[in-house]
Each structure stands twice: as structure tokens, then as C-alpha cells.
Amino acid sequence: MAETAPMIPVNEETVFGGDLSTPDPIPEAGIDAAVRLMRDGRLFRYGEDRNSIPEAALLEEEFADYAGRKFCLGVNSCGCALFVALKSVGVDAGDKVLMNAFTLAPVPGAIAHAGAEAVMVDIDDDYVIDIDDLDQKASASGARFLMLSYMRGHIPDMDALMAVCVRHDLIVIEDCAHTMGAGWNGQLTGTFGAVGCFSTQTFKHINSGEGGLLVTDDEDIAARAVLFSGSYMLYAQHRARPSLDVFERHRYQTPNCSMRMSGLVAAILRSQLPILENRNSNWRTIYDTLAPMIAEIDHLRMPARPEKEEFVPSSLQFSIEGLSDEQIDVFLQYADAHGVHVKWFGSRDPIGFTSRHDHWRYLSGHNSTDVPNADRVLHGLCDIRLPAWLTADDCSTISKVLREAMGDATGP
Ligand SMILES: Cc1ncc(COP(=O)(O)O)c(C=O)c1O
């Protein structure tokens, strides 16, 4: 973004007074559970010899039930869950892993961590993986794995996508960092592929600062994941796990990578599962209020969202069309100065959380000319966070700020 003097709003300009970066607080029940655990001191998820059931084991059991999968493992971030998932499905150093070009840095980070090679797949104009390009890249690369990121909660046509995956015999890992509780045509994300990975980082659907959850129905993947996550020989303390004889097949072959979830994190998260559906329904209402307002602003386009996509929008994306980089800078700066922080995926340099495939230069073999549509789409792609407390009045103020910002960027 170009360096310019900070803008000071004049009286008649609309200003949004809320803070879009405010996280959701921890419910009192979670605070009480965390304090109890701190008094007890048993913050490590395992005990050498214990009678009580650890919080992490209870959370895993409850989340497996919520996610509709047999097995669940808590780890210390979604990035770790993605890494553990890659290793547990059998990705070895040098293996090729297909991934959609629109995602966040922890996704290519997990592929690099596993020593694998990312094969970038293009996206379509509505921000999801381009299924024809997946078909073509799967054939050309011979990759056996797909890391499918539902980036910012956008879900592709899962019927068409899974048909391509079956045809190429791809093992699918779903990155559900933004889709906890979301689905396609009545089926939850995290249940389409071999493994689903979720984030509980502060700005996700449930908040523990850091945290990740991995779910699967495959007993060998589940046992390997528990061992990789750093269970020592204490895996019997898990409750959402396969039977102990499955661990016998893997315990001598699987390194301990120490990516465990702490008991404190689990205690905080357990209190949020019962209110997740309520939060998700607030987000849907907010999106349904704000999205049509933004769609009416000149030069802004909302993505099409198919009826079968049951998304849970904790953020909102739109595309800026027909503006120069300088005009986009003016739009962003005006919005920011008036209380609406807009993230822009087209920025030349990575900023804050936001980076792009051509910034991930550590990836071996990636050539950004491989994903021309992603380059075009990401150039105009913007993102705002939707805290679950936004009211209809807040939505109206935010859309007014964006409309005025666009006026400022495009002139009279
Ligand atoms: C799309 C996506 N995948 C994975 C992650 C990784 O989550 P975590 O921060 O829990 O490692 C993030 C983080 O924001 C993300 O946005």
C-alpha cells in the first residue's frame, strides 16, 4: 500500500465506531473450567497414572460427535493438524500434494513442513478450487493427495469435486479452518475426505487462542495421528480413538512430534461447543444483511454462493472490479480511516494475516503462471471480519463507509 498522510474524517462522513477485530469472549462456564484446572495444576493433557478423565479427551469425544466422525484428536493449531494429517495419510518427503491457490500461509506451511511438494490448483471467480484445473493438474502431476482448503468458508461443488478425486484416487485432507458447522447439501465439511482439520485460533468459530482438531473415520490414520501428535505411550487415555490393537501396528514406526493440545485449551473449548450453532446462526444473519448492501456498491462484486453451500461466514469477501491499484489504495485507506478495516489479497507485499501464493517462495516447483485466474481474482479480492455481535445498524453503517470509500476512490 502506498504511504500517504493519515486521513481524518470530516463531520458528515460516516464512521463505524465498533472494532471489527474484537474476538468472541470465553463463556463463564469456560472461565470456571479453566480456573478449576489451574487450581488442580493438571494442564498437561495426559497423567502418568490418573483416574479423572482429561479435558482434552472429553473435548475430542464431544467434537467427534459434533463433527459426525468416529475419531478426533486435539492438537495445538490447525496448521499442526494439517501437518499431522499429511503424515498420517502417508505423505513422505518429495510427494506431491495438490492445493488450491487461494488459502492462508499455514496450508502451504504444513505441506513444506512435511517435506512435500505443493502443486497449485487454480481457483474460479467465486474463490473456490477450479475443478477442471484440479482434474488436469491431478493427471499431469500424478499427485496422490489433495489438501482442499475451504478458504474463508467458501465451499466448492462437492459432488463434482469428489467425483474428480475418486477418478484420480486422490486422498483428500479438508482444511476446515473456516467451516466449523458448515456443509454441502446436508453433509458437514470434514466428512468428505479422509481427514478434516479445524482451527480454534481466536478469530475462528470457537476461540482458545491457539488450537486445532483433526477428525477421521479411518482407524489407522487416527492411531498414527495420535502418535504423531506426541502421545508417548499414554494414548489409552484418549476416548475418541481406535482400539488399542490398532496402535500396536504403528507405535514403533511413528515419531512423536509433540503437537499436543493442552488441557487448558480443551477446557476453554468445551464450553463453546454448546453455543456454536447459535454463533453460526448469528453469522448467517449478519452475512445475509450485509452482503446485499455491498453488492449494490459500484465496482464491488459479491461471489455467487450455490444453494447447496451451507456456509458459516465469520468473514465476508468481495471483489473490487475496474479500479487501478492506486484507486484500491484510496478505497482501503478511506475505509480504514472510517473504522472499517478491509484486508486486500492483491497487495504487492504480504500484510498482517494476508499473503498470496506468489509470496510463498519456499515452495519447491511452484510457478505462479500456473494459476492465472487466481492471480486475476486475488488482485481484486477483499475481506472483512464479521464479529458475531454485529447488528443490522452496524451492517448498514459498514456498507455506507464502503460506499463513501468507493466514491472517494473513483471521484465525482
Ligand atoms: C484457511 C486456513 N487454514 C488453516 C489455518 C491454520 O490455522 P491455525 O492458525 O490454527 O494454525 C488458517 C489460519 O487462519 C487458515 O486461515
Distance 297 CA to ligand 1 centre (A): 30
* Whole-number pLDDT of residue 36: 95
* Whole-number pLDDT of residue 202: 96
Contact 162, 192 (CB under 8 A): yes
* Whole-number pLDDT of residue 2: 45
**DSSP labels for 265-282?**
HHHHHHTTGGGHHHHHHH
* Whole-number pLDDT of residue 5: 62
Cβ 77 under 6 angstroms from ligand 1: yes
Q: Whose CA is nearest to atom 16 of ligand 1?
A: 104
* Whole-number pLDDT of residue 1: 45
Choose the residue to mutate in 76, 77, 78, 148 for probing ligand 1, maximizing ligand atoms within 8 Å of C-beta: 78
Contact 315, 153 (CB under 8 A): yes
Cβ 103 under 6 angstroms from ligand 1: yes
Torsion over CA: 268, 270, 276, 278 (sign): negative
CATH 3.40.640.10 for domain 28-274: yes
Distance 52 CA to ligand 1 centre (A): 32
Atom of ligand 1 nearest to the CA of 199: 10
Distance 199 CA to ligand 1 centre (A): 6
Distance 323 CA to ligand 1 centre (A): 30
Q: Position of cell 446462526?
A: 281
Atom of ligand 1 nearest to the CA of 210: 10
pLDDT tens for the 412 residues of the chain, in order:
445 566 777 778 999 999 999 998 999 999 999 999 999 999 999 987 667 889 999 999 999 999 999 999 999 999 999 999 999 999 999 999 999 999 999 999 999 999 999 999 999 999 999 999 999 999 999 999 999 999 999 999 999 999 999 999 999 999 999 999 999 999 999 999 999 999 999 999 999 999 999 999 999 999 999 999 999 999 999 999 999 999 999 999 999 999 999 999 999 999 999 999 999 999 999 999 999 999 999 999 999 999 999 999 999 999 999 999 999 999 999 999 999 999 999 998 998 888 989 899 888 766 667 999 999 999 999 999 999 999 999 999 999 999 999 999 998 7
In three-state secondary structure terms, 26 is: coil
Cβ 180 under 6 angstroms from ligand 1: no
Spell out the domain ranges in the chain: 28-274, 276-410
Cβ 149 under 6 angstroms from ligand 1: yes
Copy the grid coordinates of residue 326: 492506486
Cβ 30 under 6 angstroms from ligand 1: no
Distance 152 CA to ligand 1 centre (A): 10
What's the length of the chain?
Answer: 412
Cβ 162 under 6 angstroms from ligand 1: no
Per-residue 3-state assignment (H helix, E strand, C coil) for 80-130: HHHHHHHHHCCCCCCCEEEEECCCCCHHHHHHHHCCCEEEEECECCCCCEC
Cβ-in-10-Å burial (0-12, 13-18, 19+) of 25 comes to exposed
* Whole-number pLDDT of residue 343: 96
Cβ 107 under 6 angstroms from ligand 1: yes
In three-state secondary structure terms, 383 is: strand
Distances (CA, A) of 137 to 129, 268, 305: 12, 42, 25
Cβ 176 under 6 angstroms from ligand 1: no
Distance 207 CA to ligand 1 centre (A): 13
Cβ 212 under 6 angstroms from ligand 1: yes
Question: What is the C-alpha to C-alpha distance for residues 112 and 134, in angstroms, rounded to an integer?
Answer: 20
Q: 276-410: which CATH topology? A: Aspartate Aminotransferase, domain 1 (3.90.1150)
Closest by CA position to 91, among listed 36, 171, 154, 152: 171
Instruction: Measure CA 161 to chain center.
Output: 19
Distance 178 CA to ligand 1 centre (A): 8
Distances (CA, A) of 127 to 71, 109, 303, 316, 358: 30, 20, 8, 12, 17
Contact 180, 214 (CB under 8 A): no
Atom of ligand 1 nearest to the CA of 201: 10
Distance 389 CA to ligand 1 centre (A): 22
Distances (CA, A) of 299 to 2, 295, 318, 355, 380: 21, 9, 10, 23, 10
Closest by CA position to 304, among listed 402, 195, 377: 377
Copy the grid coordinates of residue 102: 487461494
In three-state secondary structure terms, 345 is: coil
Distance 175 CA to ligand 1 centre (A): 8
Cβ 405 under 6 angstroms from ligand 1: no
Beta carbons within 10 angstroms of residue 352's beta carbon: 8
**119 φ, ψ (degrees, to nearest 5):** -115, 110
* Whole-number pLDDT of residue 4: 55
Distance 81 CA to ligand 1 centre (A): 10
Instruction: Measure CA 194 to chain center.
Output: 17
Choose the residue to mutate in 86, 102, 103, 104 for probing ligand 1, maximizing ligand atoms within 8 Å of C-beta: 104
In degrees, to the nearest 5, what angle opens at C-alpha 196 toward C-alphas 89 and 152?
130
Beta carbons within 10 angstroms of residue 286's beta carbon: 23
Closest by CA position to 120, among listed 362, 378, 380, 368: 368
In three-state secondary structure terms, 78 is: helix
Distance 252 CA to ligand 1 centre (A): 31
Distance 280 CA to ligand 1 centre (A): 18
In degrees, to the nearest 5, what angle opens at C-alpha 127 toward C-alphas 126 and 129?
110
